[in-house]
Structures are given as C-alpha cells and as structure tokens.
A and B are shown apart, each in its own frame.
Chain A
C-alpha cells in the first residue's frame, strides 16, 4: 500500500506526460515480450510445418519451386518482423515524450515566474520536478527497450536465414 502510494505520488509529480510515458513503455514491453514468446515457442513450430511441406515436394529446383520457396521465406519473415517497426518507433518516441514533459515542466516553472517572479522557488520546483522526472522516465524506458529491440532485430534476421537454410534445394 505504501509503495503504491509512492508510485502514485511519483506519477502526480510527473504530470500527464508521465502517464503517457508509462502507457507507451507498457505497450513497448508487451510487444517485446510477445516477440520473444513468438520466436521461442511459436516460430519453431511454423518452421517445422514449412519443412515438412517443402520436403514432400519432388521437384526442388524448377522456377516454380524457387518461387514457392521464396514465398515461404517471405511469409515467415512477415511473421517474424511483425511489430518490430512499432517497437523501434516507440524507443524513438519515448525520449521525445520525455522531452515533451521537460518542456511542459519548464512552462509550469515559467508560469510561476510570471505570477510570482523569481522569489517563489518552491512553486518553481514543482515545474522543475515535472521536467526532470519525465526526462528521466523517457530516457530510462527508451534505453531499456533499446537493447532488446536491437537484439530482436538481429535475432529475426538470423531466424530468417535459418528458415532459408532449412528449406534447402538439395
């Protein structure tokens, strides 16, 4: 209960933008986890099905066979690469959201200055905390996603090669 309250306090001192950052990072992490689940559990099953289909064929060298093979590889690539662009964009958008929060916090700070001059440091601190917390949140979530999205992209490229290898022409 106490911890929950502190999270709520943090969210309040971060303002609306921090909620957006939270939502975006939750979306990003859901997608990242979904990708890992797909690559580890669902994708091998798909590959086995494709291999069965390919090896049942008698003709593996004609133009038709090549087109079918290309089609199969493309299909698996489409499935593997799903959401990757979205995840990549989220890692780009999150620091931008952080920047948005920074600007928002600075605006609040200057609002205080407009009304009270530079005397009211306590009032100004509220805006500055929004600015800093959102920047921190944006950078933190983006950095945490950055490693995984890079790893996922490499993994997907490797998996596509593996599929191509599996559907050999011999």
Chain B
C-alpha cells in the first residue's frame, strides 16, 4: 500500500522535478509556475482522455465489424450446408444411376470373360494353335482380368474368334516343329486339313493340346492312306485330291498307338495262352514230321506201282513181297497173307494223325477254359469295384478273348493240316488195301500164263 502511494507521489512529483531545473526564485513565481503547470497538466489529461475515447470508439467499431463478420460467416455456413445436403442427394441419385447402368455392363463383362475362357479351351485343343500360338496368351489374360475390358480388347476377342473360324476351315501348309517317333524335334513342312488331320513327309501327326506340339504317330495307319497323304502333300495348289480326315480330331489316330502289338496280346492271354501256343508248336512239329514221311512213302509207292522190281523200303513193296516169297501157295492163303501184311503197314501210315485231331479239338477247348477263367476274373473285379469303371473289367475280358482267339488260331491250321494229311494217308491205305491185291493178282496171272504158255 505504501509502495503504491510512493509510486503515485513519485508520478506527481516528476514534473516538479523537471521544473526544479529552473528553480523559482520566489513564491510568486512558484505559484505562477504551479498555475502554469496545472494548465499544462489539464491539457495533457484532456488529450489523454480524448485518446482513450478514440481507442474505445475504435474497439467498438472493431467489435461491430467482428459481429458482422460472424453473422456473414454463419449465413455462409447455412448456405453451404444446404448445398452439401443437396449434393449428397444428387450423389446418391447419380450413384444409383451408375449402379443401374453398369449393371448391364457387368453382365457384358461376365459374358466376355466366359467367352474368353470357352474360346481359349477351344483354341487350345485346336490344331491351328501350332501355327498361331500367340492368341492363347491374349485369351488367358482376358479371362483372368478383374477390370472391365476395353473396346479394343472386345474387338480383338471378336477377331480371334473370326480368325479361328476362318483358319479351321482351311487346308494349309506351314513350317513347324514336329516331335518324331524317336523323340527328336525336327523342323518340317506340316500340312493341316482343317483341325482334323495333320501330316508331314507322308506320316500322320497327332496334336497334343497339353503342350501344343505335333507328334509323329509311333504306329502309322495302313499303307494306302499313307500313299494318299504323300500324294496330297506333293500335289500342286488348286488340284483336287482325295485325303483322309479323322473326324474325332485325333482320337482314332491315338487309338492306333494304344493298340497292343502281337507280343503284348499274347501276354494278355496268361498261362493258358502259353499252353495253347506250346500245344500248337507240338502239333506243327508232328505235322511236319508226318508230312515228310508221308511224302516219301507216297513217292516210294508210286515208283513201286510202275516198276517190276520189289523194293523193301516202301510199304507196297513189303506187301507185294508176300506173293513173291510164297509163290506156290494157293489163293486163299495168299489172300490171308496179304491182309496180314496190309494190317502190319497201316499203323505206321496213320501214326500221329489222331494226336493232331486231338490237338485240333483240345486247342479251342483250352481257349474256352481261358475264356471262363477270364470271365471269373472279370466278375471278381465287378464284385469288388462294381460296374462303374469298364477299364477295371477289361483285363479279365481281354484274357478271355485272347485265349479264345489263340485257341482258334491254333486249331484252324492244325485242322486243315490234319485233313490234308489224313486224305493223303487214306489214299495210301486204299492203294495198299485194294490195289496191292490187284497188282498181286495181275502178277500171278502173267506168271501162270508164262508157265502155261
């Protein structure tokens, strides 16, 4: 409190201090000085007051200004809010419109994607892809795309389809890499007939859609067809030539490779098949031996029929020797002796024929046995796995069929050989049986005539 009063006193005293410089010489002067200073002071106060007032007015003005500004801003907020709401509403409206419009566009996109996937599958399995492999990348990219395709891409898709359509209907020749039967890769001129058949250098090719390669068939079709394609390849453009087409797009050609060869076939027959084959070999051996013996015997008999000399190396000679040995005997004994000699000869002529007949009868029966055992196997697999997968059953079925086939294939030639051999041996026996008697009779007659004459 005291410090404030000191502060005020010092404040009031300060002009006194200034005045103190020209120190008043007397009291009148002091009074004069005080009076003068009070006027100055009053003047100063008045100026200060005016300044305060001015400042207050300015503040009031500023406040009014600020209030006006606030009001203006508030009005603006209101307008903006309105606008915002209005925009919000418009936005929703536009969004709904967009939804509606892009709804049909999305459907289009789905269709395009599906179309791209489908046509990729078609083009991948088509032989034209060897010639134009770049289309597949485009289709793959299009079918896996998440965004909407552009107009250009739509046009490109259409072009690709049109391209495939045009080229699948053409016969074309183009250079391509071909995997040969040895597994080597060779550059060849390939002729393609539509998307069905392809060939090069007179050999049929197969299109592998998995890796888009042309592979030479390991087993080619019949020679006539190969000649035809070679002719076709070498003919000039514009000339009509016949050519083969595989309408299954290679399925039938692929079947050719799958067909088992003879060795695999025989293996399918199992042990019954081997038994049949061994029996067939035995039959063939017997047939060969009998054929040689019968030929030599027949030759000997023919020679004996013509000559007068007796040759003991053939059956007819041995029979005729009965007569020359016992020339003096009477007719009845002679006939008995002849019969005896003939009976002695017949078994050696007929030997082996019955074995052949039995073999020819047994082979188909063994085939039947194989059939039945194969069917048993088949039905066992049906019991286990049901009839769903025909591939499981085919093992037994192929055994059944192969043994039947082997049985027939062995029996038929043996049957034919047996009949040929038995007709030969019948002829020989007949010659011995009836003609030998006649020859003996002729000889006897001429001898009696000679004796009498």
Contact = CB atoms under 8 A, between A and B. Distances in A.
Contacts of B265: 107
Given A70-B437, A92-B415, A111 B260 contact: yes
Contacts of A120: 248, 251
A54 to B, nearest CB: 12
Main secondary structure of the interface of B (DSSP, over half): helix
Interface stretch (A32-40, A93-101, A141-149): A93-101
A23 to B, nearest CB: 11
Contacts of B418: 89
Contact of A73 (B426, B434, B439): B434
Interface stretch (B146-154, B155-163, B166-174, B390-398): B390-398
Given A67-B437, A89-B419, A92-B415, A115 B398 contact: no
Main secondary structure of the interface of A (DSSP, over half): helix
A46 B389 CA distance: 69
A103 B435 contact: no
Contacts of B415: 89, 92-93, 96
Given A74-B435, A110-B397, A68 B259 contact: no
Contact of B391 (A86, A89, A97, A114): A114
B245 to A, nearest CB: 13
A123 B435 contact: no
B429 to A, nearest CB: 10
B258 A113 contact: no
Contacts of B224: 8, 12
A146 to B, nearest CB: 16
Contacts of B441: 63-68, 71
Contacts of A126: 252, 255
A1 to B, nearest CB: 12
Contact of B423 (A83, A104, A122): A83
Interface stretch (B137-145, B182-190, B399-407): B399-407
Interface residues of A, number: 50
B251 to A, nearest CB: 6
Contact of A85 (B364, B423, B435, B445): B423
A82 interface: yes
B440 A85 contact: no
Interface in A102-138: 103-104, 106-108, 110-118, 120, 122-123, 126
B398 A107 contact: yes
A15 B437 CA distance: 52
A26 interface: no
A111 to B, nearest CB: 6
Given A107-B405, A111-B398, A117-B390, A74 B433 contact: yes
Given A66-B441, A68-B438, A116-B255, 11 more contacts: A72-B438, A77-B430, A85-B422, A96-B411, A100-B409, A103-B404, A103-B405, A110-B394, A114-B390, A120-B248, A122-B247
23 contacts: A8-B224, A64-B441, A68-B441, A71-B434, A71-B441, A74-B430, A77-B430, A78-B427, A81-B426, A82-B423, A82-B427, A84-B423, A86-B416, A93-B416, A96-B412, A99-B408, A103-B408, A110-B394, A111-B260, A113-B394, A117-B389, A122-B252, A123-B248
Interface of A: 8, 12, 63-75, 77-78, 81-86, 88-90, 92-93, 96-97, 99-100, 103-104, 106-108, 110-118, 120, 122-123, 126
Interface of B: 222, 224, 247-248, 251-252, 255, 258-260, 265, 331, 335, 364, 389-391, 394, 397-398, 401-402, 404-405, 408-409, 411-412, 415-416, 418-420, 422-423, 426-427, 430-431, 433-435, 437-442, 444-445
